């Protein structure tokens, strides 16, 4: 685990996020999200009516949104400004359709079981070339993460996406 620094102390990434949204005049996308640009973090924040803190970890910036229901979503943004991974935990799952964007459908398809000899009754684990994901938990406690392997910056351990 790297040393995390908080926005209040070292807020060099967040202004860039705001700047990119403002200067580029981006209409904030309706679905924001894994694989999308950093501005989508703000869309998620608005969608979740959550509070945001951001941590610059040198090889990436982690934006953490805490929703009013207590669920925490973390979005991992590469130096290129792309959300390469998301993670969540809390008493309720987040809106995964919002969070995963186009990868939501991909996850649905990947998770559709083939004609297995015996069915697995357990949290879902997806490991495809284009998407790695798990959803786990039980009533009152849910966790998960998803990332796009091709988008993970050099030097980032995928175990940090949590």
Partner 1 sequence: MTGRPGWFLPVQKLMWCVAPLLTVCLVGCGGSEYRFPGHKPKPAVTGVTVVCSPSTIQPGQTSQCSATVVGTGSFNPAVSWSASAGQISTAGLFTAPSLPTSVTITATSQWDPTQSGTATVTVGPAQASNVQPIVVDAGPAPQTFTAVNVAFVTVTVCVPGTTTCQNIDHVLVDTGSSGLRLLSSAGGGVLGLTLPNEPDSSGNPLLECAVFGSGYAWGNVAQADITVAGEMASSAPVQVIIPSTSSPGVPASCSSQTTQPNMGDSVQALGANGILGVGLLQQDCGLACTTANKTIPAVYYDCRSFSCNPTYVTLAQEVTNPVTLFAADNNGVLIELPVVPNGGSLNPSGSLIFGIGTQTNNGLGSVTVYTVPDSGPNAGDITTTFNGTAYPASFIDSGSNGIFFLDTATTGIPLCARPNDSWYCPNTSPDDLSAVNQGANGNHGAVNFSIEDATTLFSSNNTAFSTLGGPLPGSFDWGLTFFFGRNMFTAIENMSTPGGPGPYYAY
Contacts with partner 1, residue ranges (CB under 8 A):
49, 67-70, 89-98, 100, 104, 107-108, 111-126, 133-143, 145, 162
Q: What DSSP string describes the chain? A: -PPP--TTT--SSHHHHHHHHHHTTPPPPSS--TTSBTTHHHHHHHHHT-EEEEEE-SS-EEEEEE-TTS-EEEEEE-TTSBEEEEEEEESS---HHHHHTHHHHHHHHHHS--S-SS---S-EEEEETTEEEEEEEETTEEEEEEE-GGGSPTT--GGG--
Nearer to partner 1, 116 or 154 (CB): 116
Residue whose tokens read 């694989």 = 35
Nearer to partner 1, 108 or 150 (CB): 108
Q: Minimum distance from CB of 80 to partner 1 (Å)?
A: 25
Q: Minimum distance from CB of 69 to partner 1 (Å)?
A: 5
Q: Minimum distance from CB of 116 to partner 1 (Å)?
A: 5
Nearer to partner 1, 13 or 89 (CB): 89
Structure tokens at 144: 């998960």
Nearer to partner 1, 16 or 92 (CB): 92
Q: Minimum distance from CB of 159 to partner 1 (Å)?
A: 8
């Amino acid at each position: 685990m790297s040393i995390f620094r908080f926005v209040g102390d070292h807020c060099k990434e967040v202004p860039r996020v705001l700047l990119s949204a403002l200067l580029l005049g981006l209409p904030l996308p309706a679905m924001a999200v894994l694989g999308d640009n950093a501005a989508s973090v703000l869309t998620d924040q608005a969608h979740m009516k959550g509070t945001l803190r951001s941590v610059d970890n040198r090889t990436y910036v982690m934006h953490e949104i805490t929703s009013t229901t207590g669920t925490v979503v973390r979005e991992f943004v590469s130096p290129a400004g792309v959300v390469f991974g998301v993670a969540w935990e809390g008493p309720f799952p987040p809106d995964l359709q919002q969070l995963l964007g186009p990868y939501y459908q991909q996850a649905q398809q990947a998770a559709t079981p083939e004609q297995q000899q015996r069915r697995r009754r357990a949290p879902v684990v997806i490991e495809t070339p284009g998407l790695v994901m798990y959803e786990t938990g039980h009533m009152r406690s849910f966790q998960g993460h998803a990332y796009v392997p091709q988008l993970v910056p050099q030097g980032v351990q995928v175990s940090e996406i949590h």
